[in-house]
Amino acid sequence: MLTIDNLANEIDGKAILKGLSLSIKAGEIHAIMGPNGAGKSTLAYTLGGRPGYQVTGGDASFNGVNLFSLEPHERAAAGLFLGFQYPVEIPGVSNLQFLRESLNSQRKARGEEPLSGGEFIKLAKEKAALLGLDMEMLKRPVNVGFSGGEKKRAEMVQMGILDPKLAILDETDSGLDIDALKIVGAGINAIMRKPDKAVLLITHYQRLLDYVKPDFVHVLAGGRIVKSGGPELALELEREGYAEVAAA
Amino acid sequence: MTTLTLPTRKAEEWRYSDLDALATVWPTPAPTRIDVAAGESVRHHLLQDAADGAAAVHDYAITIADGARCDFHVLNIGGKLGRVTFAVTLGKGSHFELNGAIIGGGDQVLEIITSVTHAQPDATSGQTIRSILGQHATGSYLGSINVARDAQRTDAFQSVKAMLLDRTATANAKPELEIYADDVKCAHGATVGELDKQALFYMASRGMDPATAKTLLLKAFVAGVFDDVADEAVKGSLEAAALAKLETLV
């Protein structure tokens, strides 16, 4: 589904990713772990196409399409979802309006009919219930006044409604208490644990991986994947620390 | 007496104007008079949508008698020069409320100029102006509030926010207070900003095309300006005209 080959990039002239390669197939869940400053968020933003994240080398192919030839909104329409570590607040634009415009923009780009108001509300209700988020919250402006945990749940409601093929989730577990973590974990499984979908989880901690079990775990350090393994690698990292494992 | 000599930019209220465009309609007619009788409440609106290249100047002289109220909604979007001015005098315990939006592109010069005089005690006034300017447009709000010596317990505010879509556009915001009474509340705020790039990327990451995303943010920015237009048909026409104009800019 996603093949990243020798990706290098820079932000403001500073090299962050330095030859990162990774391949994700449909049906797989991958976790990327690594110390602060390793380039984890940079990888997510670069794949999402955030302005200022300059690709200086390598390729990324998403279902056979050169990802970097697409604008950010085209990547979303092609089935890429980026879960933000810090979801953005948009005063004056309700979640429902935001999501309906987003979904219908995607559908239009794919040559599909827009969803009617009624169909959309039904879908939104179903996904909000899945994440235990009150529909009233979705009538409020995007992320405005939401707690850290509510923002992350709202992100997962967005993911449920937009129904992507590949979700790149950047520290979706940060800011969540244990109960919220369970709900969000179950939400990720319900929405994305399917044979035709894939997930790339970016996280500091093992705890999310207790709920969303990865098939592969990678250690990102110094802008490269320095080690890959199965779920046991996450436990090893938790036990021994990044420095130890990355050096081994 | 209206002078027939074309004003110059030396006059403060013409400093940012387009005098060449003005010359094509000079001298402008006498101001439209609105006199609100004591205790009455009136609503007015203006959709200034003159043809491309034209100059449109609308001057209003409004007198609001004791205990009366005037609500004015203005959408200033048309012409090479679109200028709307208000000279308002407030009686005792009266209220004036102006809600205005300026949306301009090309090389338009769009202006809202106000002079609100609190001549008597206990009057209140509110002015809310939102401007969206793209390309080489200039949008100006020059607003003075004048509080006479006797006008105790005056409560007035000016809220002016401008959004620049291009670095080549210009917003001028100049709230001005002249206060001779001592028991007075006058609040004013003016900001000039750009579309939130983080919000635009967030919206793009959800699949929204750039034009839809910008339009949504701009609609949110001017939202509220026409919220309390009582006549639904008028409200609908102002909102539709604002949206149509926005869509030409993104």
Average pLDDT, chain A: 94
**Domain of residue A160, residue span:** 2-247
Structure tokens at B195: 């579309």
Q: State whether B221 and A92 contact (CB < 8 Å).
A: yes
pLDDT of the residue at B242: 96
Cis previous bond, A91, omega within 30: no
Alpha carbon of residue A79 to chain centroid: 12
pLDDT of residue A204: 84
Per-residue model confidence (pLDDT) at position A240: 87
A59-90 residue pLDDT tens: 999 999 999 999 999 999 999 999 999 999 99
Instruction: Record the pTM.
Output: 0.89
Summarize pLDDT for B97-123 with one digit per residue, the tens: 999 999 999 999 999 999 999 999 999
pLDDT digits (tens, 9 = 90+) for B49-102: 999 999 999 999 999 999 999 999 999 999 999 999 999 999 999 999 999 999
Relative orientation angle of helices A148-162 and A95-109, to the nearest 10 degrees: 30
Q: What is the pLDDT of residues A136-153, one digit of tens each?
A: 999 999 999 999 889 999
Beta bridge partners of B95: B69, B124
Q: What is the pLDDT of residue A174?
A: 86
Q: How far apart are CA B47 and CA B226, in angstroms?
A: 12
Interface touch A72/B198, C-beta < 8 Å: no
Inform me whether the pLDDT recorded for B3 exceeds 90: no
The residue of chain B nearest to residue A97, with distances taken between CA atoms, is B216
Distance CA A137, CA A135 (A): 5
Please enumerate, as own/partner, the contacts of A184-188 that have beta carbons within 8 Å and a separation of 24 or more: A184/A131, A184/A152, A184/A153, A184/A156, A184/A211, A185/A210, A185/A211, A185/A212, A186/A211, A187/A130, A187/A131, A187/A153, A187/A156, A187/A159, A187/A160, A188/A156, A188/A159, A188/A212
Q: Note the pLDDT of residue B1.
A: 47
Q: Which residue is listed with tokens 């387009």?
A: B18
Q: What is the CA radius of gyration of chain B?
A: 18
pLDDT value of position A35: 86
Q: How many domains does chain A have?
A: 1
Minimal-distance CA residue of chain B relative to A51: B201
pLDDT exceeds cutoff 80 at A245: no
Q: What is the mean pLDDT of residues A149-160?
A: 94
Which value, in Å, is the radius of gyration of the alpha carbons in chain A? 18
> Could you tell me the residue ranges of all domains in chain B?
12-194
Q: Which residues in chain A touch residue B197, judged by CB atoms under 8 angstroms apart? A: 51
| Nearest of B132, B122, B124 to residue B152 by alpha carbon | B122
Say if residues A156 and A184 touch (Cβ distance below 8 Å).
yes
Say if strands B32-36 and A216-221 run parallel, antiparallel, or are unpaired.
Answer: unpaired
Interstrand relation of A141-142 and B41-48 (parallel, antiparallel or unpaired): unpaired
Which helix (DSSP H) or strand (DSSP E) does residue B219 occupy? Answer: helix B210-222
Is the pLDDT at A135 greater than 80, yes or no?
yes
Q: Tell me if B209 and A82 make a contact (CB, 8 A cut-off).
A: no
Given a cut of 60, whether residue B225 has pLDDT beyond it is yes
Say if the Cβ atoms of A92 and B202 lie within 8 Å: no
- Choose, out of A93, A106, A146, the residue to mutate when testing the contact with B (most B CBs < 10 Å): A93
Residue A243 has pLDDT above 70, yes or no: yes
CATH number at residue A95: 3.40.50.300
Q: Is the alpha carbon torsion for B217, B221, B222, B226 positive or negative?
A: positive
Assign A242 a pLDDT band (cuts: 50, 70, 90): confident
Residue A168: pLDDT above 90? yes
Judged by phi (left if over 0) then psi (alpha if -120 to 50, else beta), residue B135 lies in left
Q: Which amino acid is residue A167, in one-letter code?
A: A
Q: How many CB pairs under 8 A join A and B?
A: 78
> How distant is the alpha carbon of residue B16 from its chain centre?
15
The runs of H, that is alpha helices, within chain A are 40-48, 72-77, 95-109, 117-130, 135-139, 148-162, 178-192, 207-211, 232-240, 242-247
Place of tokens 């050096």: A247
Handedness of CA A66, A72, A74, A80 (dihedral sign): positive
Summarised one tens digit per residue, pLDDT across range B153-208 is 999 999 999 999 999 999 999 999 999 999 999 999 999 999 999 999 999 999 99
Are the beta carbons of A102 and B208 separated by less than 8 Å?
A: yes
- Is pLDDT of B29 > 90? yes
Q: How far apart are the first and last CA of chain B?
A: 43
C-alpha to C-alpha distance for A46 and A55, rounded to whole angstroms: 7
